[in-house]
Amino acid sequence: MGLLFPSDAWVKTLMVEINQSAAYAAAAKNWEGDFVFVVEPADGQAKPVLLYMDLWHGACREAAEIPDESAKKAGYRLAAPLATWKKVLLKQLDPMQGMLSGQLKLKGSLPMLLKNVRAAKELVACCTLVPTDFPN
């Protein structure tokens, strides 16, 4: 049985995986920026779920579900419906392709992300190591 995505427990477990990954540390050694990952409301969900991650030079310094975007002023915001996030986490959708096609909506510097494609791929690889259950 896995951890429910999206949730505080899930993102905290992802932080552990990131901080244990030599591949992520190498790929993201020059990355400086925090993210709010927004899982947009779906059926029966009143508001979005927000997962915050402070990613800095190949490590994750903080990870948590936050109540709203005023809780953390992140440099990047990436939003999509749960179905799209599920495709990313199951490696059915490359996150860069998702951004470029508009399936994932980015606020922040796309050129900086494009310089760090390998880091994004390693981040998704870490996500796949978290045992994940999705809501029905």
pLDDT digits (tens, 9 = 90+) for 93-122: 998 899 989 999 999 998 888 899 999 889
Tokens standing for residue 122: 């390693």
* 79 within a domain of the structure (yes/no): yes
Non-local (6+) Cβ contacts of 96 within 8 A are 113, 114, 117, 120
Instruction: Give the span between the Cα atoms of 34 and 55, in whole angstroms.
Output: 5
* 103 within a domain of the structure (yes/no): yes
* Tens digit of each residue's pLDDT (9 = 90 or more) over 40-67: 987 767 789 999 999 999 999 999 999 9
What CATH number is attached to the domain comprising 35?
3.30.1050.10
| Structure confidence at residue 135 (pLDDT) | 86
* 9 within a domain of the structure (yes/no): yes
Please give the tally of structural domains in the chain.
1
Which residues form the domain of 33? Answer: 3-129
| Structure confidence at residue 1 (pLDDT) | 81
| Structure confidence at residue 55 (pLDDT) | 97
